[in-house]
Structure 1
Amino acid sequence: MKSDLDRIASKPILFKIAVRHLVPGSWEVIGRRTLEESLTQPIVYFRQDVGDFRRCEICDTADNSRSADPEECVGLEPMAVWDEHHVEERLLDTFMGRPSGIVERMKVRLQ
């Protein structure tokens, strides 16, 4: 098992997101590792007003936030909590080299 964890940990991080509580047994736990320092840093994300797309905010998981222009939010994760099946779909889309419909729908909207 340790070699599997080492192999997985050697790969680049695709995305950092919040996942809704897992249904017991839905994902198999294959082991535990201490997180590297870089992975313990706050996760930065954006939220955008659906009524006025010009209003955006950049936030992080340490409760810091500031107003931002939509252009500043390009490339950031949207503020969202993902269900398990959506995470699996996003991973599959990534590994298959195709755009994720979920990610596309949540991208920041520019003027």
Structure 2
Amino acid sequence: MGNPKHKTGTFLRLALADGSFGYGRLLEPPHVAFYNHRTTEPDSDLDRVSSKPVLFKIAVNLMALNEWERIGWRALEEHLAQPIVQFRQDVGDFRRCTIFDTAGNKRTAEPQECMGLERAAVWEQDSVEERLLDAFLGRPNAAEEHLKVRLQ
């Protein structure tokens, strides 16, 4: 039945490098949605956290989930229960892309169609925390830039 610690709908609180906190929600493991919510004090108000927009949804190394604090659980809202769409791009021939989702759909795509989608990758704990903090501070994130689709 999977690890009860990795239960879909679980809220996560991440301590960030600058002492602030970020928040995520476990989707279908290993995917996590991260909210546009940053606090200086730990927030455990699930209503407040879940009312915030989602910045990004990515696959996370399950070891990282053990490092982040679980602050509660709720069944996923409809918009978070949708299949997660990602892309793969051929390393040798960047014109060859595949768009696929967690429901098992996949199709060949032009690189342009992959713009704005997440590349299929498993993120490590420190990379996630860094990306979240960069998003809050309005800085480009090196790992995110590196994973963006190549157009030429």
The TM-score with structure 1 as length reference comes to 0.93
Q: Deviations over 1:38-58 (max 9, x none)?
A: 111100011100100000000
> What percentage of aligned pairs have identical amino acids?
65
More relative contact order, 1 or 2 (CA 8 Å, 6+ apart): 1
**For 1:22, which of 58, 63, 70 is the aligned residue?**
63
Secondary structure of 2:55's counterpart equals coil
Alignment partner of 1:75 is 2:116: yes
- The residue aligned with 1:109 is 150
Q: Which runs of 5+ in 2 are unaligned?
A: 1-42
**For 2:139, which of 64, 73, 98 is the aligned residue?**
98
Question: Displaced runs of 4+ in structure 1, greater than 4 A?
Answer: none
Secondary structure of 2:67's counterpart equals coil
Q: Which has the higher strand share?
A: 2
Give the AA of the match of 2:74.
R
Residue 26 of structure 1: how far off its partner (Å)? 1.1
CA contact (8 A) 2:86 2:99 kept: yes
Quote the RMSD (CA, aligned, Å).
Answer: 1.8
Q: Which runs of 5+ in 1 are unaligned?
A: none
